[in-house]
Structure 1
């Protein structure tokens, strides 16, 4: 299997790359390193099945170069991912997450049907002189598109409510992906992992809450929690997330679908701080920078993923936190 992972040098992307290489797939990573780092993919550099290309999904000339190769599956993870940043700078998020996704869709369409292919009713008429090759797109969306839930888990039919340009850009990109499936018969799936954490996640202010809390505890620094801390998150360990992403690419059963991944357990940020910190450090509640972007309750219903591809999480929250702690302790991030 020949695969492309956009954003493959990022936190989740490097784990998807690792899982694909473990399956003996060939992997090309395209990343502009705005979120990812070369350190994340250092261990793959001598693998003959691995190739890194530095470049941006908004650069059509670079995409022409990348797509000289033919891919069986395109895992599209490249994006601007910070909710708060999207409020301060919506243009960057829109162009990366929506327009960038459109560019990837177009390259996939050209690869599968050619630039001169055309639809005749519900069928394609291809130009025999064009070198076409079938492919599939796995689009990484987010749970941050959902409206707040009550006690029940959020299924894929739960209402969406974009409360930030990040959520709005992802919904727009989702709709484009599904439109290419419906209009062009381009195999595609939209996946919505819930809040993912784990090894290789950044531990600074731009990182995830679990990594930030652990790093602060290890340094004896205070923890700041935005707002009341009663907002809940369904925290998915990154290895479980990577398995879900990869399996969504391998399975035809999810084509044309939106599929969630999470644990079915939500925890308040206050509870999370207690699990990680106990009474070791001081916890402060501070004013939320952009409270309008907050979703107060996120809890996943992953029954669709379990039914269609047999996926379910293997790690408990406590197991994932412990593995993350050991990784942070063993890296130079401990500073």
Structure 2
């Protein structure tokens, strides 16, 4: 197939591209590099099936119009502003990228009948209120403009399924981590903790550290994203993916730190955006896609730590 991946030079995007190339598809990457990095896709540039890397913006309608002349079968739409804190400080940028940008993608996909896989987030949910976890009909609670923009994007994506029968699917992966994730302010908690631990620095925890996260290893996430594109069974659906196990940030820090004295609690920057308990119920993905995670948290942390040690220049 001919496939477009927006945000394909990002952390999850490069793993999605890797999998699509391994499946022998022709792949185009569109990324403005505001969050992604050329280094993430360097190893694919010699692959004949990577047709083009376009350094461009999903808000550029003319660019999209030309790009879609390639007659894509699937568009994996991962391009977005993804930082919760940034969205609170600058909601306009997040809205323009995550809502207007998504609308632009949808319009081109509608013209060419291209399936849309829309990358949403677990951050749209209210906290988990039971031990079964969060399923797709769990209440939503947009506690940040990032979450609000993603919900807006989701609704637009699903409206194109109902109004035009354009094949679309909304996917909500839980907190994803692994190799190629940034270890600075925009990175995930696992990558940040591992990097700071390797450098003998303190592991700073916002608030009391009792908040929990369901941590999904990136290769499991990429497999889920790709399979959602391949399957007609999920068209018009919202699908979760996660490990199905949550862990407090305190316990995560203890798992990574060499010495508990390294762990320090600091005031939360944006406490209003904190979700106290995130735990995924991925039974719908199991039923419709036959998907379930293959990596344990401990295996994933070990793989990530090894990669960070071996690639200090990519941090």
TM-score with structure 2 setting the length? 0.98
> Residue 298 of structure 1 is aligned with which of 278, 288, 291?
278
The structure in which a higher percent of residues are helix is 2
1:141 alignment partner in structure 2? 120
1:128 alignment partner in structure 2? none
Distance 1:53 1:276 in 2: 38
SS state at 1:234 partner: strand
Cα deviation 1:199-228 (Å, max 9, x = unaligned): 000011211100000000110001111011
1:179 alignment partner in structure 2? 159
**What's the offset of the Cα at 1:333?**
3.8
**What's the offset of the Cα at 1:66?**
1.1
Tell me, yes or no, if structure 1 residue 308 matches structure 2 residue 288: yes
Structure 2 unaligned regions, length at least 5: none
**What's the offset of the Cα at 1:280?**
6.1
Tell me, yes or no, if structure 1 residue 43 matches structure 2 residue 43: yes
How many equivalent pairs are there?
Answer: 313
Distance 1:304 1:167 in 2: 22
> Residue 152 of structure 1 is aligned with which of 132, 143, 146?
132
Cα deviation 1:89-138 (Å, max 9, x = unaligned): 000000000110000000011112xxxxxxxxxxxxxxxxxxxxxx2100
Contact 1:2-1:26 within 8 A present in 2 as well: yes
How do residues 61-76 of structure 1 correspond to structure 2 at under 5 angstroms?
Answer: 61-76=62-77
**What's the offset of the Cα at 1:278?**
4.0
Cα deviation 1:250-277 (Å, max 9, x = unaligned): 0000000000000110000000000011
Distance 1:175 1:333 in 2: 39
Contact 1:210-1:321 within 8 A present in 2 as well: yes
* Alignment RMSD (CA, Å): 1.0
Distance 2:235 2:314 in 1: 42
Distance 2:237 2:186 in 1: 31
1:53 alignment partner in structure 2? 54
- Runs in 1 of length 4+ with deviation above 6 angstroms? none
Contact 1:217-1:281 within 8 A present in 2 as well: no
1:125 alignment partner in structure 2? none
Tell me, yes or no, if structure 1 residue 247 matches structure 2 residue 227: yes
SS state at 2:29 partner: strand
SS state at 1:205 partner: coil
Give the 3 Å change call, closer, same or farther, for CA 80–334 of structure 1 in structure 2.
closer
TM-score with structure 1 setting the length? 0.92
SS state at 1:68 partner: helix
Contact 2:135-2:240 within 8 A present in 1 as well: yes
2:193 alignment partner in structure 1? 213
> Residue 201 of structure 1 is aligned with which of 176, 181, 187?
181
How do residues 1-335 of structure 1 correspond to structure 2 at under 5 angstroms?
Answer: 1-50=1-50, 51-112=52-113, 135-150=114-129, 151-279=131-259, 282-333=262-313
Contact 1:262-1:300 within 8 A present in 2 as well: yes
Contact 1:215-1:334 within 8 A present in 2 as well: no
Distance 1:333 1:184 in 2: 47
Please identify the structure whose Cα radius of gyration is greater. Answer: 1
Distance 1:271 1:56 in 2: 39
